[in-house]
Amino acid sequence: MSDLAVTIRLDGVAVEARAGESLLVAARRAGRGIPSLCFLEELPAIGACRLCLVEIQSGSRTGITTSCNVPVEAGMAVLTDSPEIRRHRALNLELLLLRAPEAPALRALARALKVTSRFSAPPVRGLANCILCERCTRMCDALGHRALAPAGRGEKKRIDTPFSRVSESCVGCGACTWACPTGAIFMERETVARFKARWGAERPCRYNLMGLLPGTVCENDYRCARCEVDRRMLRRAGGRHPALLSLRATEGKP
Ligand code: FES
């Protein structure tokens, strides 16, 4: 633990954490199995899915709240599990199930938390199974492409390309697909076809466009699943999406 170490109390137990880090990260490091869908450590937290609820009992922010977007403060006392937390979490999961009843991640969570949906689903606008967690748009923003964005408000809110037009800034990295927790976003065949048409014969490799392998040319007709370069980059990324390597490079991480 660094010299920024502070002590907080999780469920009555003293635990070391880093001042300012996400409370969810600190709680998970201490072994608390708090569920989450919209959080990714590399991205700014927005508290969208509201599954990571905890109860903060002391500090500058008290009450039941999301933990992913609350920074750790010295002396915080936090409950990570209680009947009240479970009740709120179950209700939030029910609401998410209305938007994404078929999403495997939600169904698994519903089974684990013994939640069944009591509501009937209204028609969902935009992508099927999208829970509007914005992991895709935050990922695309973080990588500097801004090819996706939330559009509309309230019931009409959806994920779209800017102005609902084909995104010229998309580099086909697929990080949005990887980040989506419900499988709502996938790479369409038209996207790949557009790529081929855009670049002509000298097609830059996707990792070239991501800034990870400058100068590399695609020799596999954008059939990345068959490509040794793709396999090498996947190994290098160690289970994360390779596009995140460019974030780590920006942040000076190894
Ligand atoms: S993980 Fe905290 S609100 Fe989604």
- Average pLDDT value for residue range 35-44: 95
| All residues at 6 or more sequence positions from 83 whose CB lies less than 8 Å from its CB, including other chains | none
Q: Atom 3, ligand 1: which residue's CA is nearest?
A: 47
Segment 161-207, tens digit of pLDDT:
888 888 888 888 889 999 999 999 887 777 777 777 887 777 899 89
- The pLDDT, as a whole number, for residue 254 is 37
The answer, yes or no, to whether residue 253 has pLDDT greater than 60, is no
Distance 138 CA to ligand 1 centre (A): 14
Q: Which of 127-131, 135-139, 160-164, 237-241 has the highest mean pLDDT?
A: 135-139
- Could you give the domains of the chain? 1-122 (3.10.20.740), 135-250 (no CATH)
| Nearest atom, ligand 1, residue 52 CA | 2
Gyration radius of the chain over CA positions? 20
Q: Is the pLDDT of residue 34 over 80?
A: yes
pLDDT at site 222: 84
Distance 245 CA to ligand 1 centre (A): 23
Mode of pairing for the β-strands spanning 77-79 and 63-66? unpaired
Pocket of ligand 1 (CB under 6 A): 36-39, 47-52, 66, 68
Going by their DSSP bridges, the two strands 77-79 and 53-58 should be labelled as antiparallel
> Distance from first CA to last CA of the chain, Å, rounded?
18
pLDDT at position 10 is 97
Question: Quick check: pTM over 0.75?
Answer: yes
Residue 64's closest CA among 100, 117, 23? 23
> Atom of ligand 1 at shortest distance to CA of 45?
2
Q: Probe ligand 1: pick from 21, 28, 36, max atoms within 8 Å of CB? A: 36
| pLDDT of 227 over the 50 cut | yes
Range with the largest mean pLDDT of 30-44, 58-72, 190-204:
30-44
The pLDDT of residue 252: 45
Q: Quote the ligand 1 centre to 70 CA distance (angstroms).
A: 10
